[in-house]
Chain A
Amino acid sequence: MKTLLAWLLWLWIALVIWAAFFYAPGAAENFQVPTSYRILFFHVPMAWASFAGFIGSAVWSVLYLRSRNPRHDLAAAAAIQLGLLFGVLATVTGAVWARIEWGLYWNWDPRQTSLLVSLLFYGAYLALRGAVDDPEKRARLAAAYAILGLVVTPFLYWIVPRITFSLHPEPVVNAEGKSQMSSDISRVLLASSVGFTALFFWMHNLQTRLLVLAERKSAGGDQGYGA
Chain B
Amino acid sequence: MSPIASSWAAEVAAVFVKEWRCEFRTRYALNTLALFAFTTLVVTSVSLGPMGIAKAQGSAVLPVLLWLILLFSVAAGLPRAFVQEEESQTATALRLAATPSALFCGKLLYCLTLVMALELLVTPVFLTLMSLGVESPGLLAAVLAAGGYGLAVGSTLVAAIIAQARTKGTLFSVLSFPVLLPLLLLVVELTRTAVAGGIGDMGSTAGVVLPQLLLYDASVSVAGLMLFPVVWNP
Please give the residue numbers on chain A whose beta carbons come within 8 Å of chain B beta carbons, in ascending order: 65, 117, 120-121, 123-124, 127-128, 131-133, 136-137, 140-141, 143-145, 147-149, 151-153, 155-156, 158-160, 162-163
Residues of A within 8 A of B167 (CB): 131
CB<8 Å pairs between A and B, sample of 12: A120-B178, A133-B166, A140-B230, A152-B178, A152-B182, A152-B219, A155-B182, A155-B183, A155-B216, A156-B181, A159-B212, A163-B185
Contact B186 A147 (CB under 8 A): no
List the B residue with the shortest CB-CB distance to A159.
B185
Docked pose: A149 CA to B223 CA in angstroms? 10
Q: How far is the CA of A136 from the CA of B175 in the complex (A)?
A: 19
Contact A132 B220 (CB under 8 A): no
> Which among A124, A128, A151 is the interface contact of B223 at CB below 8 angstroms?
A151
Q: Shortest CB–CB separation between residue B108 and chain A, in angstroms?
A: 15
Do the beta carbons of A144 and B231 come within 8 Å of each other? yes
* Complex: A78 Cα to B157 Cα, angstroms: 24
A-B interface contact total, Cβ < 8 Å: 88
> Could you say which residues of chain B place their CB within 8 Å of the CB of A65?
230
Q: Which residues of A contact B178 (CB under 8 A)?
A: 117, 120-121, 124, 149, 152-153
* A109 smallest CB distance to B (angstroms): 15
Interface of B is mostly: helix
- Within the complex, what minimum Cβ distance (angstroms) separates A87 from chain B? 13
Q: Give chain A's interface secondary structure class.
A: helix
- Check A128 against B185 for contact (C-beta < 8 Å): no
Do A141 and B182 have beta carbons less than 8 Å apart? no
Q: Which B141-178 residues have a C-beta within 8 angstroms of A? A: 154, 157, 161-162, 164-167, 171, 174-175, 177-178
Q: Which of A144, A155, A163 contacts B212 (CB 8 A)?
A: A155
